Amino acid sequence: MHRPSAPRTIWFVVFPGFELLDLSGPLCAFNLAIDFHKVRYKVHIVSAPGGLVRGSSGVLIDSASPPSANHLDTLIVVGAATPETMNAQEQTVDLIRTYAPLARRKASVCTGAFLLAETGLLDGHRATTHWRCAGELQRRYPTISVDADRIFVREDDIWTSAGITSGIDMALAMIEEDCGSEISKAIARDLVVYHRRTGGQSQFSTMLELEPRPGRIRDALAYARVHLSERLSVERLAEVANVSPRQFARQFTAETGDTPARAVERLRCEAAIPRIEGTREPLELIARQVGFGDMERMRRACIRIYGQSPQALRRRGRSLSA
């Protein structure tokens, strides 16, 4: 077990309309490290103007103007309910742009990634955000490689987390980096959350919610849903969209934040899950009929997306209906 030998200063950056849970979840994790495990963190809630800041839920949070940043360790930008809230945050973007270079770690929770992206910090990096907003992040900032399925992404000194409660997952990983796994596990138990969540955002979202804007890409997805049992190569979907395969793959990723192959895999899993959990059909038959071809491919897809094998998902379905 190890702890930081010197105090580590953590800033949470808030702004009008911020999402309260984006702040309170990871803030609680760090405060538990301070209160129960004697970790030497110093936590500040800061905003560009300082003073009371009203979140989207109406709760007022008392924030400080940026204090001395000589020893700033971690800067975490919280998110808001929609990316549109970020459009009027010029002062906050300036704050991040000024102080992020001084921080050892830069991070965002949920749609806070849009503010990091606006500063240029995410250019050329992998990042994630709430699954509902991943396509929009990719469209606005095409130099970012958006991973729509990750709970959080760490690349060099930049961390981004997915939707809302995933900020807790990211905070636990930061505490583990600073203090070791025993302390982070203990804090996870205190919070009554998983120490490391299995699966990705896909287990909480649906492709219906990730649909792109009306047009060729949406038409190709609609075609894929109806023809899941058939071979759905990029070439075939591009033909449906009436564009070249290369253009289709590029446009698909730009509009959805996912690759065509992974999107088709997710569609097949979503078609399979009700039959896996709610019927006694042979799993091999389900795998063939939703387009996986064989049981092994369906097994790998279920583990990647849901963190469990089809057999485990079937047992869970039976236990819930018992």
For residue 64, what are its two tokens? 């400080």
Question: What H or E segment, with its residue span, contains residue 301?
Answer: helix 295-306
Q: How many helices (H) and strands (E) does the chain have?
A: 13, 10
Out of 110, 133, 269, 302, the active site residue is 110
How many CB atoms lie under 10 A from the CB of residue 74? 22
Give the C-alpha separation, 286 to 284, whole Å.
5
Contacts of 11 (CB under 8 A, 6+ apart): 44, 45, 46, 66, 72, 74, 75, 76, 99, 103
Main-chain phi, psi angles of 76, to 5 degrees: -120, 120
110 is catalytic: yes
Give the C-alpha separation, 262 to 268, whole Å.
10
Active site residues: 110
